[in-house]
């Protein structure tokens, strides 16, 4: 199977158009039926597969970085009589189980990126719904701050998966209906059981949409509402964006290399080592100089490469279950860039970079692979890069030095970035999540900001799982890796998904918790994917045959 590539740009889009009109952008969904990942299905009625969502993810990112002047984004359809009919059912019926689950995860991450843009970039989204808006199509609309529905007696919103496909309605869709739009539970139950959906005044009364507009007034109403939303934004007028250029990635056998990230795959051991390099140059002299560097500015460049590497491993390396994190470079260089981002936090680009790093780290949190961090001499788990350590399921640190190695002993350096810049999906920092039952440990860690914390002290502070002398290091790490890859991957996925999000429940943790557990389970059941299951028989005219036993 051809590897899935997540790097794209508007010149290569087949499914979306970005149309800029002053401080408003129209993001037009016009899916090419023949433009899916596979020729085995057609993307009719603005249905989507991963190819469509890769472009959407890219468009959301480019609107934030390349168009700081855009204050409001209108998501609309480029086709008559349909907004979006959701995920393509033929694709779901033919896809492997793993691809289905990863696809659902990626689409939810993309919709969360839209919500993050609304909240943190003040680039608010408006969904202008005309025609059928079903399943994943309504989930796309739900990601927007404001939903408008044309009142033409045909256009409707729906989550029909329960009745049609015998699967959970989109996971994120259900959670956003109740938690975000505050739809009453019993009305949500009816809504998710009605194939034809809800339209007109009832859709407003049930809080499924924010307003309906007569067809004769539609275009002007959408334009007026977008202008009102744009007027509330603090996005900089007249600012010049930066171009997100193609990633410089080279794949050679089991090596995936970028300028700042290297992935080495060891198939025999079932693991991949991901090494992130610290900055090779000093921080820019000014924020203007940083803008001139554009996407080559180290925090942004490294984040783009790390995100691409994580997605590559997720979709293209399903049998690699263990990721080993390493870093290379100088801790001070990382902290200098952290300080630069903090100093210029009111600059629109520095704000975007900070929130982007947050989203990349969140991708790690919800990736169904084990993560182990190795802290050795020459590594730079400092500030922002220390978040990789705290995102890992376990960590090992070498005490002292190896024979013949004149580099300073391995050390962790905490920075201000570790205490609030990059919250997880549960709303807490990774250190707060780590020390959920030990609030005093957070205070102790804060007292060490800027200090080099070596092995014994790192153990005492609870910052690493184990620390070993050089003579034990090789055997200890080898045994840990071998043990991890010997476990059931299903058991590990369930365990990790539960352990990574200690603390409060949020809409985001609910989405991914249910995706990992219930959607994963439902997609395996015969009622959905068996020979007589709903996904297999959809469109054939034959009714599915269900095992009526409740589990």
Q: Are residues 420 and 339 in the same domain?
A: yes
Q: How distant, in Å, are the alpha carbons of 191, 209, 303, 365, 510 from that of 183?
A: 10, 10, 37, 29, 16
Task: Tell which residue, 312, 313, 310, 412, has the closest CA to residue 362.
Answer: 310
Within a domain: residue 44?
A: yes
Confidence at residue 384, expressed as pLDDT on a 0 to 100 scale: 98
Within a domain: residue 514?
A: no
Given a contact cutoff of 8 angstroms between Cβ atoms, the answer to whether 344 and 407 are in contact is no
Reported confidence tier of residue 454, pLDDT bands at 50, 70, 90: very high
Q: Are residues 333 and 481 in the same domain?
A: yes
Give the list of residues 6+ apart from residue 44 with CB closer than 8 angstroms, or none: 33, 85, 88
DSSP state letter for 372: E
Per-residue pLDDT reduced to its tens digit, 60-112: 999 999 999 999 999 999 999 999 999 999 998 889 988 988 999 999 999 99
Give the list of residues 6+ apart from residue 286 with CB closer than 8 angstroms, or none: none
Give the list of residues 6+ apart from residue 260 with CB closer than 8 angstroms, or none: 276, 277, 298, 301, 302, 305, 306
CA 292 to chain centre: 28
Within a domain: residue 513?
A: no
Note the pTM of the prediction, 2 decimals.
0.96
Within a domain: residue 219?
A: yes
Q: Are residues 184 and 297 in the same domain?
A: no
At residue 450, the 3 state secondary structure works out as coil
**What is the residue whose two structure tokens read 């788990």?**
381
Within a domain: residue 547?
A: no
Give me the mean pLDDT over the 221-247 stretch. Answer: 96
Last residue of a domain, one of 498, 521, 542: 498
Give me the mean pLDDT over the 534-544 stretch. Answer: 87
Rounded (10°) CA dihedral 162, 167, 173, 178: 60
Residue 519 has pLDDT above 80, yes or no: no
Given a contact cutoff of 8 angstroms between Cβ atoms, the answer to whether 148 and 211 are in contact is yes
Q: Are residues 146 and 278 in the same domain?
A: no
Last residue of a domain, one of 456, 480, 498: 498
Report the sign of the C-alpha dihedral through residues 8, 12, 18, 20, in that order.
positive
CA angle centred on 255, ends 254 and 261, rounded to 5°: 145
Q: Are residues 67 and 117 in the same domain?
A: yes
Spatial distance between the Cα atoms of 489 and 370, rounded to a whole number of angstroms: 9
Within a domain: residue 549?
A: no
Within a domain: residue 130?
A: yes
Per-residue pLDDT reduced to its tens digit, 253-271: 999 999 999 999 999 999 9
DSSP state letter for 545: -
Spatial distance between the Cα atoms of 141 and 147, rounded to a whole number of angstroms: 6
Share of the chain above pLDDT 70, in %: 100
DSSP secondary structure letters along 237-274: TT------PPP--EEETTEEE-SSEEEEEETTTTEEEE
Confidence at residue 515, expressed as pLDDT on a 0 to 100 scale: 77
Give the list of residues 6+ apart from residue 410 with CB closer than 8 angstroms, or none: 375, 376, 377, 378, 379, 397, 398, 399, 454, 455
Q: What is the mean pLDDT of the chain?
A: 95
Q: Are residues 327 and 464 in the same domain?
A: yes
Q: Are residues 215 and 73 in the same domain?
A: yes
How many domains, in total, are found in the chain? 2
Confidence at residue 535, expressed as pLDDT on a 0 to 100 scale: 83
What strands, in cross-sheet order, belong to the sheet with 82-84? 82-84, 132-134, 156-158
Dihedrals φ, ψ of 250, to 5°?
-125, 125
Confidence at residue 394, expressed as pLDDT on a 0 to 100 scale: 98
Share of the chain above pLDDT 90, in %: 86
Give the list of residues 6+ apart from residue 404 with CB closer than 8 angstroms, or none: none
At residue 329, the 3 state secondary structure works out as coil
Given a contact cutoff of 8 angstroms between Cβ atoms, the answer to whether 362 and 108 are in contact is no
Q: Are residues 195 and 256 in the same domain?
A: no
Spatial distance between the Cα atoms of 152 and 72, rounded to a whole number of angstroms: 25
Per-residue pLDDT reduced to its tens digit, 157-177: 999 988 888 887 877 899 999
End-to-end Cα distance, the chain: 35
Spatial distance between the Cα atoms of 65 and 67, rounded to a whole number of angstroms: 6
Spatial distance between the Cα atoms of 392 and 364, rounded to a whole number of angstroms: 9
Per-residue pLDDT reduced to its tens digit, 484-495: 999 999 899 889
Per-residue pLDDT reduced to its tens digit, 387-409: 999 999 999 999 998 988 889 99
Residue 551 has pLDDT above 80, yes or no: no
CA 242 to chain centre: 22
Give me the mean pLDDT over the 378-392 stretch. Answer: 97
User: How many CA within 13 A on the CB side of residue 125?
Assistant: 26
Last residue of a domain, one of 198, 231, 264: 231
Residue 356 belongs to domain with CATH number:
3.90.226.10
Task: Tell which residue, 462, 451, 454, has the closest CA to residue 410.
Answer: 454
Q: Are residues 426 and 334 in the same domain?
A: yes
Q: Are residues 182 and 254 in the same domain?
A: no
Residue 369 has pLDDT above 70, yes or no: yes
Q: Are residues 125 and 216 in the same domain?
A: yes
Spatial distance between the Cα atoms of 196 and 135, rounded to a whole number of angstroms: 11
Confidence at residue 1, expressed as pLDDT on a 0 to 100 scale: 63
Domain that holds residue 282: 250-498
Give the list of residues 6+ apart from residue 518 with CB closer than 8 angstroms, or none: 168, 171
Q: How many Å is the Cα radius of gyration of the chain?
A: 24
Give the list of residues 6+ apart from residue 397 with CB closer than 8 angstroms, or none: 374, 375, 376, 410, 412, 455, 458, 459, 464, 466, 467, 468
Q: Are residues 227 and 263 in the same domain?
A: no
Residue 11 has pLDDT above 90, yes or no: yes
Within a domain: residue 140?
A: yes
Exposed, middle or buried, 2 (CB in 10 Å: 0-12/13-18/19+)?
exposed
Report the sign of the C-alpha dihedral through residues 433, 173, 187, 180, in that order.
positive
At residue 492, the 3 state secondary structure works out as helix
Reported confidence tier of residue 538, pLDDT bands at 50, 70, 90: confident
């Amino acid at each position: 199977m051809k590897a899935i590539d997540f790097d794209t740009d508007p010149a290569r889009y087949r499914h979306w158009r970005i149309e800029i009109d002053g401080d408003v952008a129209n993001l037009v969904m016009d899916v090419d039926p023949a433009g899916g990942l596979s020729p085995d299905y057609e993307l009719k009625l603005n249905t989507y597969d991963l190819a469509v969502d890769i472009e959407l993810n890219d468009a959301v990112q480019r609107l934030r970085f390349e168009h700081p002047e855009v204050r409001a984004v209108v998501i609309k359809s480029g086709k008559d009589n349909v907004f979006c009919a959701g995920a393509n059912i033929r694709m779901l019926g033919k896809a492997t189980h793993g691809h289905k689950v990863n696809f659902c995860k990626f689409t939810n991450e993309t919709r969360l990126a839209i919500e993050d843009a609304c909240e943190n970039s003040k680039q608010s989204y408006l969904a202008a719904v005309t025609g059928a808006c079903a399943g994943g199509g309504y989930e796309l609309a739900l990601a927007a701050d404001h939903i408008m529905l044309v009142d033409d007696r045909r256009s409707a919103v729906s989550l029909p998966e329960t009745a049609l496909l015998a699967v959970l309605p989109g996971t994120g869709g259900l959670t956003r209906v109740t938690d975000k739009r505050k739809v009453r539970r019993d009305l949500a139950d009816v809504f998710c059981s009605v194939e034809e959906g809800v339209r007109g005044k009832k859709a407003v009364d049930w809080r499924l949409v924010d307003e309906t507009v007569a067809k004769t007034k539609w275009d002007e109403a959408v334009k007026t509402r977008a202008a009102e939303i744009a007027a509330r934004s603090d996005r900089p007028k007249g600012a010049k964006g930066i171009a997100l250029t193609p990633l410089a990635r080279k794949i050679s056998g089991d090596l995936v290399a970028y300028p700042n990230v290297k992935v080495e795959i060891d198939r025999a051991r079932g693991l991949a080592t991901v090494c992130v390099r610290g900055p090779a140059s000093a921080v820019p002299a000014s924020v203007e100089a940083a803008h001139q560097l554009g996407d080559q500015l180290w925090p942004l460049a490294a984040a783009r490469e790390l995100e691409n590497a994580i997605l590559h491993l997720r979709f293209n390396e399903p049998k690699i279950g263990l990721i080993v994190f390493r870093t290379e470079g100088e801790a001070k260089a990382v902290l200098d860039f952290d300080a630069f981002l903090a100093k210029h936090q009111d600059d629109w680009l520095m704000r975007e970079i900070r929130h982007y790093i947050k989203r990349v780290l969140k991708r790690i949190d919800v990736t169904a692979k084990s993560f182990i961090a190795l802290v050795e001499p020459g590594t730079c788990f400092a500030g922002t890069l220390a978040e990789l350590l705290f995102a890992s399921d376990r960590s090992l640190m070498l005490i002292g030095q190896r024979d013949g190695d004149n580099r300073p002993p391995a050390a962790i350096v905490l920075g201000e970035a570790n205490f609030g810049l990059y919250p997880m999906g549960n709303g807490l920092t990774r250190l707060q999540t780590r020390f959920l039952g030990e609030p005093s440990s957070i205070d102790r860690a804060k007292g060490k900001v800027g200090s080099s914390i070596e092995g014994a002290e790192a153990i005492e502070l609870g910052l690493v799982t184990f620390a070993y002398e050089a003579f034990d290091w090789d055997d200890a790490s080898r045994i840990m890796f071998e043990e991890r890859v010997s476990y059931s991957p299903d058991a590990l996925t369930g365990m990790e998904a539960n352990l990574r999000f200690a603390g409060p429940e949020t809409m985001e943790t609910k989405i991914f918790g249910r995706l990992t557990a219930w959607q994963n389970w439902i997609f395996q059941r015969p009622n959905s994917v068996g020979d007589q299951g709903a996904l297999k028989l959809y469109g054939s005219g034959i009714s599915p045959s269900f095992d009526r036993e409740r589990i």
